[in-house]
Amino acid sequence: MTRDGRVWSEGRATLDATDKPKQSPGRGVAGAQDPLTGLLDHVRDTLGGLDAGQPASYIPELAGADPDLFGLSLCALDGQVYGSGDTTPPFTVQSVSKPFVFALALADRGLDGVLRRVGAEPSGEAYNSIRLEAGSGRPPNAMVNAGAIVTSSLVAGGTPEARFARILAGLSAFAGRSLTVDEAVYASERATGDRNRALAYLMHNAGSLTGDVEEQLAVYFRQCSVRVTCDDLAVMHATLAGGGLNPVTGERVLAPRHAQQVLAVMATCGMYDASGQWMLRVGMPAKSGVSGGIGVALPGQFGIGVFSPPLDGKGNSVRGIAACHLLSDRFGLHLMRGMAPPSRDLPVGQVELAAADLLRVLGTGLGAARTRQAPQGSAPGRTAPLSAPPH
């Protein structure tokens, strides 16, 4: 069962074209009911005046995004979701889909089966770079466009339609609710995707991409055009942070070993040619997308979703990057930290309370401004059918 109560059938979620994100019950005035909302409000207020960057323009449908939108969401491993700002307006997932489709490929093919076709090394180059491994023709990793096109083709399904149905069902399982496709963005991506088309034909010639190139690209473009919200990104990344267990629905959507493998590649490759600096300074596995979304997972603790359309020169959200830097630096969230850092100067009041709560393990049950209840009848540990469908 999904977060909105829909029932799984043969590995797919029942979809509704009118399905929209729902306001979570109990959301109050920021900071009035819980300190973590106050913390997120403080971060958002601190960075609200940051006006650098522009929305992506190479996909025409993304160019019209409102540059003032800015949302921050955090999902703890007890299923509580906290947020500030524009956490419910939908946007297309774009490259933030890549870790989750990589996860599906791992579930269907196993690690060795995936690595025969896609590498796991940082490229040090842009997300759309034309670079393949000498000899094998493999793209460097599953987080760049070339690798993601191959990864999408490795998801089980006898036809492109079946493969995309599995991808959409998988993304929905990670989000805990039924997701839909933005058809206008899909059409825009397909019409302007010549560089991805060139990558795909190059890989087809090298042997790393098999099958009909245009059909494989259609699945990939559609995958990137799935609508999500900032809250969805937080829940999806909390599912990875929790070893594949969705903290809101209580469903196991991915084996722990595969969640571990996905997080490892996100940590080294998720932010493209800024991945090294990101890991050095922020220190959490993450993935960005050109619609302005960033998803972050701190293993064993929580997932974060950030949304703000203006991008920097590397295709990452300017405010999103700044927000993650601020959270990691002030509250000692870096994976490599040896101990909790000394307290830093912060405004008095709710933000100090929030910092104290954040430095405790978030999965222990804090009072939340927005409590998302699991659908009735779901239970922790219930397994969602994300194994490969029968052929």
Catalytic residue check, 82 = no
If you search the block for the tokens 């259609």, which residue do you land on?
A: 218
Tokens representing 296 are 């972050």
Q: What are the CA-CA distances from residue 112 to residues 105, 107, 109, 137, 176 (Å)?
A: 11, 11, 8, 16, 29
From 101, 253, 282, 290, active-site residue: 290
* Residue 4 exposure: Cα atoms within 13 Å on the Cβ side: 16
DSSP helix/strand/coil, 332:
coil
From 82, 84, 97, 98, active-site residue: 98
Catalytic residue check, 201 = no
From 220, 248, 288, 351, active-site residue: 220
Catalytic residue check, 220 = yes
From 73, 84, 95, 291, active-site residue: 95
Determine whether 226 is exposed, middle or buried from the number of CB atoms within 10 Å of its CB (0-12, 13-18, 19+): buried
Q: What angle do CA 388, 174, 138 make, to 5 degrees?
A: 60
- DSSP code of residue 390: P
d(CA 50, CA 75): 25
* Residue 228 exposure: Cα atoms within 13 Å on the Cβ side: 36
From 253, 272, 282, 287, active-site residue: 272
Catalytic residue check, 98 = yes
Which has the closest alpha carbon to 327: 82, 7, 133? 82
3-state secondary structure 3-45: CCCCCEECCEECCCCCCCCCCCCCCCCCCCCCHHHHHHHHHHH
Catalytic residue check, 95 = yes
Q: What angle do CA 179, 226, 256 make, to 5 degrees?
A: 70
Contact 27, 87 (CB under 8 A): no
d(CA 168, CA 307): 21
Residue 17, number of CB atoms within 10 A of its CB: 8
| Active site positions, annotated | 95, 98, 220, 272, 290
